[in-house]
Structure 1
Amino acid sequence: MRWLLLAFIIVPAAEIGVFIWAGGIIGPWWVIGLIIFTGIVGVSLARKEGFEAWRRGQTAINYGQPPGDAIIDGICIFIGGVFLFAPGFITDIIGFVLVLPFTRDPFKRMLERLFRKWAEKGTIIYRRW
């Protein structure tokens, strides 16, 4: 919980610093335009990738396989979409990393390790086939 509180303090302060820095270089209206543009593109991309993960999960279920990878992809895409929806360049970078398929893999593996750790503690039941 302390990490979350610290993130709610540090991330907005860093975003404001980046806004001021970027505004001094390219101008405030360009910064506003970039924020709106990255938000629209990011949320659209998250929506597209989310539907793709949903489709892969349904296909796996239809073939009698567990949709484990699709679920983890969906979690990453959802978190990335939330970051992309938040205004700011730092959150946009994190969001795009979580939404784009070729940069998502390290985070998927991290989530799998976290789920296994929780499963060993008995917090959740997780099984990868």
Structure 2
Amino acid sequence: MSGGQIAALIAAGAFVLLVLLLAIPLIKLGRTLDEATIAIRKAHQNTDPILISANDTITHVNTQLERVDGITANAQAVTGNVSALSSVFTATLGSPLVKTAAFSYGVSKAIRARRKAKAGADGKRGRGGRKRSDNS
């Protein structure tokens, strides 16, 4: 064997070794791609039930929102009725009620003032209507 043939043989061996070293990562990469393909396929298969469930949930939520809209409309009507009732009450009973309260307050104040004035005039007398002396 000549030196060129030996060099060619060494080069061929190195090339085979290089191919074997590169084949291992390529095989692992192929397995990884297979697993990724399987995961994507499973995700695609499981997407349909999830979307169907989401659609059912949205339908249920829309039904509940329609009920809430009805409740809100009824609450708005009740609020309008209470406002109207309050206005009617204020117009019919509010003014006379305020006048009655003011009259009652005035009468009670006049009675207190009269009692105070009477007590001031009677304050100089002791018990039994006798005049009290300042020395006793």
TM over 0.5: no
Name whichever structure is richer in helix by fraction: 2
With normalisation by structure 1, the TM-score equals 0.29
With normalisation by structure 2, the TM-score equals 0.28
- Structure number with greater Rg is 2
Structure number with the bigger relative contact order (C-alpha 8 A, sep ≥ 6) is: 1
